[in-house]
């Protein structure tokens, strides 16, 4: 839930700024890693991959929310109705088409950061 909540806050910040942002992915990675490590007693090999996967989920979720909001603004729909009408396939397609190479690189670095944070905390 922390990853999804962080993704939603990230989307709100991007909408407030008026442009898609990819740099909050690093902050989300630290948050996910710091939250996972102490609460799950992660002493297994799955700790770092789990943190990386949850950070990737937050990146995809935030990107889809931002894409849905942009489509809603272009069509003149309220965000609440656009969430139901657009669907996950279109939101993913729009998010993927708008992602630059730099965005994808930042997302990859964020997943690595989350894994490192969890790995260092479990030692």
Flag whether pLDDT at 48 surpasses 80. Answer: yes
Tell which residue, 55, 44, 53, 86, has the closest CA to residue 69: 86
Count helices and strands (H / E) in the chain. 5, 0
Per residue in 6-23, pLDDT (tens digit) is 989 988 888 888 777 888
pLDDT of residue 122: 57
Flag whether pLDDT at 42 surpasses 60. Answer: no
pTM of the model: 0.85
């Amino acid at each position: 839930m922390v990853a999804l909540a962080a993704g939603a806050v990230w989307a709100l910040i991007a909408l407030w700024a008026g442009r898609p942002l990819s740099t909050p992915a690093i902050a989300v990675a630290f948050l996910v890693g710091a939250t996972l490590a102490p609460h799950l007693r992660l002493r297994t090999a799955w700790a770092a991959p789990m943190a990386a996967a949850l950070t990737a989920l937050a990146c995809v979720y935030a990107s889809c929310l931002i894409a849905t909001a942009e489509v809603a603004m272009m069509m003149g729909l309220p965000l609440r109705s656009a969430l139901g009408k657009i669907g996950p396939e279109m939101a993913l397609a729009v998010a993927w088409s708008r992602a630059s190479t730099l965005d994808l690189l930042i997302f990859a670095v964020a997943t690595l950061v989350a894994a490192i944070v969890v790995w260092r905390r479990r030692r």
